[in-house]
Amino acid sequence: MAVVVLLPSLLATEAGGRNRFEVEASTTGGALRELPIRGLLFDEQDELRPLVNVYVDGVDVRNRGGLDEKLNDGAEIRVVAAIAGGLPRSSSGS
């Protein structure tokens, strides 16, 4: 089924300037894996990076069925960077 994925600005830049994608997918994870920036969302063990939040129709997927939850046709998936950052967790050597 067709769903919409919305990306924040940094990811849109990495996706060639597009912040909106329409993809065919039955699950949230499947939709995200269709994107050209999937490697920025998922790590090498195919786990969603911990500071990437994903909302489906306005609800955080970690509070509903997770990435394997079945999507409704026309669902809107929004990717948001978590409230974090600022000072790094570790310094760069000085």
Q: Which is nearer to another protein, 43 or 68 (CB)?
A: 43
For residue 32, the number of C-alpha atoms closer than 13 Å in the C-beta half-sphere is 29
Exposure of 21 in the CB half-sphere (CA atoms within 13 A):
23
Torsion of CA 53, 4, 65, 51, to 10 degrees: -10
Among 58, 63, 73, 85, the residue binding another protein under the rule CB under 8 A is: 85
Q: How many CB atoms lie within 10 A of CB 1?
A: 13
The yes or no reply on residue 20 touching another protein (CB under 8 A) is no
Of 18-26, 33-41, 58-66, 67-75, the window that binds another protein (rule: CB under 8 A) is: 33-41
Measuring CA to CA, which residue among 2, 1, 16, 21 is closest to residue 79? 21
Question: Contact with another protein (CB under 8 A): which of 3, 5, 11, 77?
Answer: 11
From 18, 34, 52, 65, residue interacting with another protein (rule: CB under 8 A): 52
User: Which chain residues interact with another protein by CB under 8 A?
Assistant: 9-11, 13-14, 39-41, 43-46, 49, 51-52, 81-82, 84-85, 88-94
